[in-house]
Amino acid sequence: MAAIYDAIIMAKTTIHREGYPAILVSGLFLILLNTALFLFSGHSEWKWIILAGSIFTLLWICLFFRNPERKIIPAKDIIYAPADGTIVAIEKTVEAEYFGKEMLQISIFMSAFDIHVNRYPIDGIVKFSNYSPGRHFMAFNPKSSGNNERHSVAILHSSGQEIMVRQIAGAIARRIVNYAHKNSRVSQGNELGFIKFGSRVDLFLPTDCLVEVELNRKVYGNKTVIARFIHS
């Protein structure tokens, strides 16, 4: 469905730069594999099945790393979705890594078919950027937020309020790419990073934010309004 959505409403879709190495390595391997099969397998019907599977696999890898152009309407009080996916949690919880107090957590699960580009939900200044190695629970598991491999970025809004975006690797994903640098100024909608294969993004917001999504809703980065600041 995400691919259909992109095809309908996006004017331009490219391959994300993080995908080029994976596509190149996979493409070369599949070319060598199929060349060897066609040269040495004789009249075996399996070579045609493997060729079809190879084409499908390469197309799927390209699809995974798609990066649609997402024009954003900047708004000071709006907190946009930082990723494509499905809302799997909306709850108050104590965020211990940076805030050390109760925050509103909104979690987005990204399946292997969602776009995996992560984006800044607000304008602001990066006050905290920290990578933590960890385990690899399934990304929809509540334990994944604090125990999995993750990268947390806290952003100070012009209103004086802070939020956190936490990229979380899932059971399959093994690499989080993050472009945030402490004390740098970031713009709403720009790229924050990328997570390879199924994963999750958690938002930690002030508890008085006005939430505009509900559980199990499909959301889109730079398009869906997740919440609004009450005092902006």
Q: Among all residues, which ones are annotated catalytic? A: 199
Q: Give residue for tokens 């334990």.
A: 143
- Whether residue 128 contacts residue 98, with contact meaning beta carbons closer than 8 Å, is answered with yes
Cα–Cα distance, 124 to 76 (Å, whole number):
10
Spatial contact of 148 and 131, defined as CB atoms under 8 Å apart: no
Buried b (16+ CB within 10 A) or exposed e, 134-145: eebbebbbeebb
DSSP state of 139: T
Contacts of 186 (CB under 8 A, 6+ apart): 120, 123, 124, 125, 126, 155, 180, 192
Give helix 46-64 / helix 20-40 axis angle, nearest 10°: 170
- The 3-state DSSP class for residue 205 equals strand
Angle formed at CA 120 by CA 143 and CA 10, multiple of 5 degrees: 105
- For 104, other C-beta atoms within 10 Å of its C-beta total 19
Phi then psi dihedrals of residue 63, to 5 deg: -65, -40
Which of 217, 224, 174 lies closest to 199, judged by CA?
Answer: 174
Cα–Cα distance for residue pair 23/61, rounded to 1 Å: 7
